[in-house]
Copies of this chain bind each other. A is one copy, B any other.
Amino acid sequence: VDLIEAALAGNRLALARLISQVENQTPTGKQMLEQLYPRTGKAHLIGITGAPGVGKSSLVNRLAHAYREYQGGKVGVIAVDPSSPFTGGALLGDRVRMRDVAGDEGVFIRSMATRGALGGLARATAEVALVLDGAGYETILIETVGAGQGEVDIARLAHTTLVVEVPGMGDDIQAIKAGILEIADILVVNKADLPGVEGVERALKAMLEMAPEVEKQGWKTPVLRTISTLNTGFAELVKTIQDHKHYLYQSGGWLRRERARLAAELESLIQTSLVARWRGQVSDEKVQEVVDRLCTRHISPKQAVDELLS
Give every chain B residue within 8 A of A118 (Cβ-Cβ): 118-119, 122, 149, 153, 268
Choose the segment among A7-15, A70-78, A176-184, A237-245 that binds chain B (4+ C-beta atoms closer than 8 Å): A176-184
State whether B40 touches A297 (Cβ < 8 A).
yes
Interface string of A262-291 (1 = CB under 8 A from B): 110111111101110110000000010011
Give every chain B residue within 8 A of A304 (Cβ-Cβ): 266, 269
Give every chain B residue within 8 A of A93 (Cβ-Cβ): 173-174
Is A193 part of the binding interface, using a Cβ–Cβ cutoff of 8 Å?
no
Count of interface residues, chain A, beta-carbon cutoff 8 Å? 82
* Complexed CA–CA distance, A91 and B83 (Å): 24
Closest to A267 in B: B275
Q: Which of A127-153 contact B (CB under 8 A)?
A: 145-153
Give every chain B residue within 8 A of A270 (Cβ-Cβ): 275, 278, 305, 308-309
Give every chain B residue within 8 A of A86 (Cβ-Cβ): 178-179, 182-183, 214
Counting from the closest, the 5 A-B pairs by CB-CB distance are A148-B148, A84-B179, A147-B147, A149-B150, A83-B177
State whether A294 touches B266 (Cβ < 8 A).
yes
* Complexed CA–CA distance, A234 and B178 (Å): 32
Is A230 part of the binding interface, using a Cβ–Cβ cutoff of 8 Å?
no
A147 and B145 contact, Cβ closer than 8 Å, known pairs A38-B300, A118-B118, A270-B278: yes
Is A41 part of the binding interface, using a Cβ–Cβ cutoff of 8 Å?
yes
Give every chain B residue within 8 A of A120 (Cβ-Cβ): 149
State whether A149 touches B121 (Cβ < 8 A).
yes
